[in-house]
Amino acid sequence: MAPTDRADRLRLGVNIDHVATVRNARGTPYPDPLRAALLAEQAGADGITAHLREDRRHITDADIAALAGRLSAPLNLEMAATEEMRAIALRHVPHAVCLVPERRAERTTEGGLDVAADAVRLRDYIAPLVEAGCRVSLFIAPDADQVDAAAEIGAAVVELHTGAYCDLHLEGDGEGRDAELARIEAMARRAVAAGLEVHAGHGLTYDTVGPVAAIAQMTELNIGHFLIADALFRGLSGTIAQMRRAMDAARLAA
């Protein structure tokens, strides 16, 4: 099968959180994360990912309702394993729920979920989500204990945290980066052997995506911050040109 064939290709989940970050910085209705998600669908995204944080610093409850109601692509709802979030997930029944650890002071999701230490609670926690038809994914560090625990508690998917790999790349530590990549690859193999589907994400850029995308066991990558950042440079000229035209047209009409 050719690598571009649908069944064989690696899915791209586009995370639209940081469209909401820009919106919330001003309290305006724009830019609208739903509009970005619909554009992402048209551009070939295989899914849309949104993280409803407990502090609602970017995506809001209304965004999740709009995404759940309007998207054609599968919605992957990222959330902390709290009662409040589970009730929201059960209200919308997104295609997937990805459980992530959350600390209020963090800038982004800094570590993986400690499934091994919280296995009993998490098994009970995910049961109603699985029952409702959500594919439950656990965002974990590429670590054998975490992979094994995820399989034991009945998750369908693990998302391997690529943040450390990407940070080491940015720090110029090629040896450390390659060691972390080898861990990701080994844990992808281990997860598939345990019956889990394997996704990955966090911090990926054009420079770091290649080696992760090449891992045969990988079925989906979730990418957000860099896509929104790079879109500025791909779109800014057109936006400025449109503002120029609007100003010139107003002067001409005056």
Positions marked catalytic: 51, 78, 202
Residue 196: strand, helix, or coil: coil
C-alpha distances in Å from residue 58, one per residue of 52, 156, 187, 235: 8, 27, 31, 22
Which of the stretches 33-41, 67-75, 188-196, 199-207 binds ligand PXP when contact is defined by CB under 6 A? 199-207
- Residue of 71, 153, 204, 209 interacting with ligand PXP (CB under 6 A): 204
- Residue of 64, 68, 97, 98 interacting with ligand PXP (CB under 6 A): 98
- Residue of 14, 37, 51, 151 interacting with ligand PXP (CB under 6 A): 51
Considering only residues 62-91, where is the footprint of ligand PXP by CB under 6 A? 78
208 binds ligand PXP (CB under 6 A): no
Question: Cβ 176 to ligand PXP, closest distance in Å?
Answer: 19
CA distance linking residue 174 with residue 197, whole number of Å:
28
CA distance linking residue 160 with residue 166, whole number of Å:
12
Which of the stretches 22-30, 61-69, 184-192, 196-204 binds ligand PXP when contact is defined by CB under 6 A? 196-204
Considering only residues 13-42, where is the footprint of ligand PXP by CB under 6 A? 15, 17
- Residue of 71, 139, 165, 220 interacting with ligand PXP (CB under 6 A): 139
Beta-strand relationship, 218-223 and 135-140: unpaired
CA distance linking residue 101 with residue 241, whole number of Å:
42
125 vs 226, beta carbon nearer ligand PXP: 226
Residues 6+ apart with CB under 8 A from 104: 54, 55
- Short-list 131, 138, 108, CA closest to 18: 108
142 binds ligand PXP (CB under 6 A): no
Question: Cβ 18 to ligand PXP, closest distance in Å?
Answer: 7
Residue 107: strand, helix, or coil: coil
In angstroms, how far is CA 194 from the centroid of its own chain?
23
- Residue of 48, 80, 100, 138 interacting with ligand PXP (CB under 6 A): 100
68 vs 113, beta carbon nearer ligand PXP: 113
Residue 214: strand, helix, or coil: coil
- Residue of 63, 143, 159, 180 interacting with ligand PXP (CB under 6 A): 159
- Residue of 203, 208, 212, 215 interacting with ligand PXP (CB under 6 A): 203
Residues 6+ apart with CB under 8 A from 6: none
C-alpha distances in Å from residue 117, one per residue of 40, 105, 106, 114, 236: 37, 22, 21, 6, 46
Residue 231: Cβ within 10 Å count: 14
Residues that bind ligand PXP (CB under 6 A): 15, 17, 51, 78, 98, 100, 108-109, 139, 159, 201-204, 222-226
